[in-house]
Structure 1
């Protein structure tokens, strides 16, 4: 069945915008970033076809499918990253680019790759998912670069948290970034990484979610607890019992009573495990599951005191005027994230020692003028990215080289021929 052509004077009619992100797990911060861009595009480009390439397109459709009138969800680049022959970032980048330029090497996804390679804008949206913790994810950046090489469209990345970087990845990121019209990061270590690698015109703004902060993200409930917690059990370098002990000791020190305490779940089940260790000690505590906060809004208000390991819970609570203490459970990752918000004026403190009970916070969160400034900074970047598309001539089709020598799953380059394939894909 052929789709009826759209008749419109909008410059975005018939255009394709392709977002790449981590939606659908679900994870409150990842969903928030994608939702922010979809809401923005619903305002400035409602007639564009918007595709979101994410790891879990089914759940993402349910969570986010109503935020733009023409949004759909796929997992093409993610599958290509998973299909790469190893975890080595260079091999992943080489293989994904080769598959995008010559889709016959990934025959299960030919149609999906052709769609990707027809996009006017490929936008790797923000988050901290391209780094040493997930080395295969560099293939997302590589695939975006290869796609616009074919289409003649524009590749952009915004709000990236690239720290900690995989070994020897800096020069790879520099090579890939040459294909991007916009390279924007959210924290100083990420900017320093790209600057040291020689990437030109690196922009350092703020996390993408600042573009969409507002009271529409807050619960409308009036009777919310004064003491709020979000304590994760994933990506931690401290024992869960130590976190449980920190929570109980902190609440006692702050003078909290069980009927005035709330636990928030940023990732389903993962953020319930520490709570599960202490719920019998706090029988009247309220638990706010992810499903409720996504539907009804985050239970935040001015005057609250928060203890949070989650970055975006820190951000949204501070934007509502809540005081708080950020708990870094992994120094090479979460300390960088929380420090970036504190440096922007969240008025929170941070602890890296779970044996040390922090003092009760009194900072009160972000000043309204700072939030307005950060939103305008991100809005200026968004306007620069989403100008009506004018596509240059695409690159002429490349002559397909001989298939790499194969082992195992039929995709791993070896020897001189493999190296030639790698550099050919990166050039």
Structure 2
């Protein structure tokens, strides 16, 4: 049995795509193996991702243990969760789930930026993975992890847990630095590089907007009106009217809030809800210009050769994420609101650079599942 751990089902566009990429990979590499995905919202995840792998099922045991753990800090959570994996009676409502995980051949904490200071209880996920393989004799691996910014005093804990993983792969330089001299550490970038392909985009014959926006309203360190002002000012400086703009939604509802603020001043914009881009693909392609606060739209639009500007709305979190892509060759620039950025024209990823990133992630997957 393969036991995946991820933050799917909320839903969040990038998180769902990462899980879909691994399920799709395993449908080819291990179609006859039972695959469980442990995530915070297994019901919605099952609806969105069910059927990708013929033997995939969904649960939330590790997440329940993290939420149940007394205290809010990383050390307290990790210690309690790891003990509960060995003594399931401590968490009697989830004994069946603990016993299931403790039979896993591979426990794989898939990529994303969900184990860090913003969500300190999530350090318990690493402890749960360690506890599971301590019982099963299996292997624990983590891939594409964004561990920065680390919670206060959590670095030694992360290194201690990571040292018990057979493989600890991260997506950015600060996360790699955090792990220090853990011998199994690697940095192949975000896990979505495994799954980038034509199936994620609109059909070639579909008409695409000239300019595309992706604007979140969560995790902001600037007020929402300030972000709205920055966006409308940038569009005016670029000479772009609303009828030439599309706006995509990464998290349903959350990414509509800024649209509702700016739409009266940029009338005619086309709104692409999450449900639309999940079903029909991202409206991204060459010759476009993007402005995105979110990370995975940056990645996918740049992979489609679109030019763009990334807007890090949280310097400790999103700036690291976006810089991991610009450093890898996305060709995008970083904005510093309220300053209006120049309209970019450099295109996205060079095809050779993108191919290298995809090959690196594919080689990592083969190393885990061969």
TM class by shorter chain equals over 0.9
Deviation at 1:282, TM superposition (A): 2.2
Provide the residue aligned with 2:119 in structure 1: 134
Q: Given the two structures, how large is their TM-score scaled by the length of structure 2?
A: 0.99
Q: How many residues align?
A: 369
Provide the residue aligned with 1:239 in structure 2: 223
Provide the residue aligned with 2:316 in structure 1: 332
Residue deviations 1:324-366 (CA, integer Å, cap 9, x gap): 0000100000000000000000000001x31100000111000
Provide the residue aligned with 1:201 in structure 2: 184
Q: Does 1:310 align with 2:297?
A: no
Q: Does 1:286 align with 2:278?
A: no
Residue deviations 1:125-183 (CA, integer Å, cap 9, x gap): 00010000000000000000000000001000000000000111111111111221001
DSSP 3-state at the match of 2:265 = coil
Residue deviations 1:39-92 (CA, integer Å, cap 9, x gap): 000011000000000000000001000110000000000000000101110110
Residue deviations 1:374-423 (CA, integer Å, cap 9, x gap): 11101111001002xxxxxxxxxxxxxxxxxxxxxxxxxxxxxxxxxxxx
Q: Does 1:211 align with 2:230?
A: no
Residue deviations 1:297-334 (CA, integer Å, cap 9, x gap): 00111110000000000000000010000001000000
Structure 2: unaligned runs, 5 residues or longer: none
Report which of the two structures shows the higher radius of gyration computed on alpha carbons.
1
Q: Does 1:107 align with 2:92?
A: yes
Q: In structure 1, what is the Cα distance between the partners aligned to 2:82 and 2:225?
A: 44
> Where do 1:145-160 residues align within 5 Å?
145-160=130-145
Provide the residue aligned with 1:355 in structure 2: 338
Deviation at 1:200, TM superposition (A): 1.9
Match of 2:328 among 341, 344, 348: 344
Match of 2:105 among 120, 126, 130: 120
- Does the Cα contact within 8 Å between 2:211 and 2:244 map onto a contact in 1? yes
Q: Does 1:266 align with 2:250?
A: yes
Q: In structure 2, what is the Cα distance between the partners aligned to 1:181 and 1:54?
A: 22
Deviation at 1:204, TM superposition (A): 1.0
Q: Which moved more, 1:228-237 or 1:277-286?
A: 277-286
- Does the Cα contact within 8 Å between 2:331 and 2:346 map onto a contact in 1? yes
Q: In structure 2, what is the Cα distance between the partners aligned to 1:91 and 1:341?
A: 34
> Where do 1:25-40 residues align within 5 Å?
25-40=10-25
Q: In structure 2, what is the Cα distance between the partners aligned to 1:318 and 1:183?
A: 26
